[in-house]
Amino acid sequence: MTKFCPACHRNDVLNPHAITPERTTCPRDFFQLVEREIEDPIEEIFKGRYRTTACILPGEKHAIFKVVDVEESGDFIVSILRARSADTKRIIKFVDVWAGVKHRNVLPVTESGVSADKKFVYVISRNPGGKPLTTILDEHGTLPASTAVPIFLQLCDGLERINKVSLVHGNLMPAHIYQLEDADTANHMLISCDSVLARFVDPSPDAVASDTDVSELSPLFLGLEFMKTGEMADASTDVYSLGTAMYAMLTGLPPFSGKTFESIKVSHKEEQPLSLRGAAPGIEIPGLFDKIVLRTLKKEKIERYPNVEALRKDMIQAADQSRIYLPAQATAGYTAQPYTGDTGADKAQPTSPADFIQGNPSTAQAPPNPANTGPVDLRKELDELPPETREELEEKVKGLRSHVWVVTLVAVLVIGGVGALLMYEGPPEDRAPAWKKLSWTMAMSNGDGALNSKSFEKAKDEFSNALKIAGEIQDGGDRKVKAMEKLLIVHEGLHDKKGAETIREEIIKMDQQRLQRDEAKIK
C-alpha cells in the first residue's frame, strides 16, 4: 500500500517530507491523497531480468518503477502502460524519436517494446541516480532565484533539443525531472519522457473526470493546448508547461490547483495566475522574473514566448540585470550554495566562580581593595600637594577646559551634521527624510519581534504604523508592499480571512503596477 498525490505524483516513499502519514491532502497542491495497492508487473513482463526497488507512480493504467538489472546491477526507470488503455503505435513512434535525442539535459531511453502477452507497453530509461526535483523542493521549500535560474536554463536547453526533432513534451512535472548524481555537476537536471507517456493513455486530455474517477493524466503542469479541444500543440506549449514548473520552483506552489482534475483544467483555461509575489509574500523574487514567468502562462499563444529559445534569451538578460550569477557556459552544471541556516556565531560565555579561582584572563576580575572605599574629597587632596605640583595641575586643568570648548564645538557640528543627514531626502527613486525611513525600519523591526512572539495584535499595530509611514516615502511602493506582506502574515495568524484577502488583493494590484514599470527594462 502506498499513499500518493495523483496531481503532482509525490508519494510517501520518495517524498516523505510532504506525504506524511497523518496528511489527507497534498501540502503543495491541496489535492486529495490516494492510497493504493501497488500492482507490480515487472516480474511478469521481464521474467526475472529486473527487480523492483521502488514504485514512483502506482497508476492503474500507467505505472512507473525504479528497478535494478539483476545481472548487470544497473539502475533503471521503467514506465509500464496497459496496452488496452494506451495508443501503442503513438507511444512507440514517440519513444523511437526520443531515443535519438542526445543531449546532456534529456534522459535517454535505452529500450522500449511490448510484453510477450501483448498486455503491456514498456519504456526503459537509465536511472541517473539523483533526486527528483520534487524531493529537492520538499527539502528546501522553494529555490532562490540564484539556484533556480541556472536550472531553468538547463530545462530550456533540453526542451529546445526536443523541439528540434519535432517533439512536444508538454508535461514538465518536477516529479519526473531528475538531478544527476554527480558531485562535480550539482543541479545538473535531466528531463524524462515518463510524464509525456500519460498523454497517450485513455481518457483523452479533454475528457471530463468525475470527482471519484482520477484520470491518469494530471493537468497540474500540462501544456494548455493539451487541455483545449482542437488546439494544436507546438513549441509554445512547452513554454507554458515550463512556466508552471518555474512558478512552482520559485513560490513552492503550482499556479493553478483544485480538488479535481476538471477544476484544475478550468482554472488553467479561465483564471489568471497570481503574481509570484502575490502567491509567495515574503520570498525575494526579482521583479523581472515575475514578469517572465507570467508571460509564459498567457492563455493565448501569441502573447507567450514563441519558443524556449526566446524565453532563454530573456532569462539571461534578466539574470544580468538582477545580478544573478550564471556559469560561464549557460548549459554548464551549476553548484548550488548549501542551506547553512544558523551561522553558529560565537556567544559570550557566562562568568562562573571557577573563573576567578583559575584566574582566567578573559573573565576574571580584580578583587576589590578595602582601602579604596568611601567618597573622595578632591579639594583636600589638591591642597596637600606641593606648590609646584599644584600649579602644574592647574595649568593642565586650564588646558582641559580649552579642550572641552573644542569638543563642544565639534559636538555641535556633529549634531548639526547628523540633523542634516536625517533631513536628507535621498535620490528621486527613494525620496523621503532619512528619519522617516529609520522610523519605518524601527516599526518593521518591532513588528517582527511581536510576530516572533505570536503577539499578533501588537504586530498588527506596528506593521500598520509602518504601512502609514511607507505611504509618505516615494520609493515606488517597495516599503509599502513589504509592510503589507507582513500584515498579510498577521491576518492569517489571526484567522482573519477577509482582512487577509483585502491585503493580498492590494499587494497584487501594486505588483501589477510594478510589473508595468519594469516592462520597459525587459524589452
Same domain, 254 and 396: no
Same domain, 407 and 467: no
- Residue 333 domain-assigned? no
Question: What's the pLDDT at 374?
Answer: 42
Q: Which of 321, 340, 356 is the last residue of a domain?
A: 321
- Residue 199 domain-assigned? yes
Question: What's the pLDDT at 379?
Answer: 46
Same domain, 400 and 475: no
- Residue 416 domain-assigned? yes
Question: What's the pLDDT at 423?
Answer: 58
Same domain, 85 and 201: yes
Q: Which of 321, 352, 380 is the last residue of a domain?
A: 321
Ramachandran sector of residue 340 (left: φ over 0; alpha: ψ -120 to 50; beta: rest): alpha
Question: What's the pLDDT at 414?
Answer: 65
**Which residues on neighbouring strands pair with residue 178, listed in sequence order?**
132, 190
β-pair type (177-179, 109-114): unpaired
Say if CB 152 and CB 168 are below 8 A apart: no
Same domain, 9 and 90: yes
- Residue 23 domain-assigned? yes
Task: Find how far residue 369's CA is from the centre of its chain.
Answer: 62
Same domain, 433 and 392: no
Give the three cell numbers for residue 150: 541556472
Identity of the residue numbered 235 = A
Q: What are the phi and psi torsion angles at 132 (to 5°)? A: -70, 155
Preceding amide of 370 cis, omega within 30: no
Same domain, 415 and 433: no
- Give, for all 523 residues of the chain, the pLDDT tens digit: 889 999 999 988 888 888 888 889 998 888 989 888 888 898 899 988 999 999 999 888 899 999 999 888 789 999 999 888 888 889 999 999 999 898 989 999 999 999 998 999 999 999 888 889 998 888 888 888 888 999 999 999 999 999 999 999 999 999 999 988 764 445 788 999 999 998 888 754 444 444 434 556 899 999 999 998 778 999 999 999 999 999 999 999 999 988 889 999 999 999 999 888 888 887 888 888 899 999 999 999 999 999 999 999 999 999 888 888 776 555 343 333 332 223 233 333 333 333 333 333 333 333 444 433 344 344 444 444 455 555 555 665 556 666 666 667 767 666 666 555 555 566 666 677 777 778 878 888 888 888 877 888 888 898 899 888 888 888 777 788 888 888 888 888 888 888 888 888 888 877 777 666 666 555 5
DSSP SS3 for 284:
coil
Same domain, 394 and 450: no
Same domain, 168 and 317: yes
Say if CB 74 and CB 111 are below 8 A apart: no
Whole-angstrom distance, CA of residue 361 vs CA of residue 364: 5
Taking alpha carbons only, the member of 194, 201, 148 closest to residue 169 is 194
Question: What's the pLDDT at 352?
Answer: 36
Say if CB 149 and CB 132 are below 8 A apart: no
Q: Transcribe 392-453 into DSSP letters.
A: HHHHHHHHHHHHHHHHHHHHHHHHHHHHHHHH----GGGBS-HHHHHHHHHHHHHHHHHHHT
Same domain, 405 and 474: no
Give the three cell numbers for residue 459: 504586530
- Residue 290 domain-assigned? yes
- Residue 366 domain-assigned? no
Same domain, 101 and 163: yes
Number of other residues whose CB lies within 10 A of the CB of residue 185: 16
First to last CA, the chain: 52
Which residue range is the domain that position 405 belongs to? 388-423
Task: Find how far residue 13's CA is from the centre of its chain.
Answer: 23
Q: 491585503: which residue's cell? A: 503
Same domain, 69 and 45: yes
- Residue 347 domain-assigned? no
Question: What's the pLDDT at 161?
Answer: 93
**Which residues on neighbouring strands pair with residue 64, listed in sequence order?**
57, 79
Tally the domains of the chain: 3
Residue 316: give its domain's CATH number: 1.10.510.10
Q: Transcribe 124-146 into DSSP letters.
A: EEE---S-BHHHHHHHHSS--HH
Sequence-distant (6+) residues with CB within 8 A of 463 are 443, 444, 447, 483, 486, 487, 490
Q: Which of 321, 339, 370 is the last residue of a domain?
A: 321
Taking alpha carbons only, the member of 152, 519, 522, 149 closest to residue 324 is 149
Residue 505: give its domain's CATH number: 1.25.40.10
Say if CB 52 and CB 40 are below 8 A apart: yes
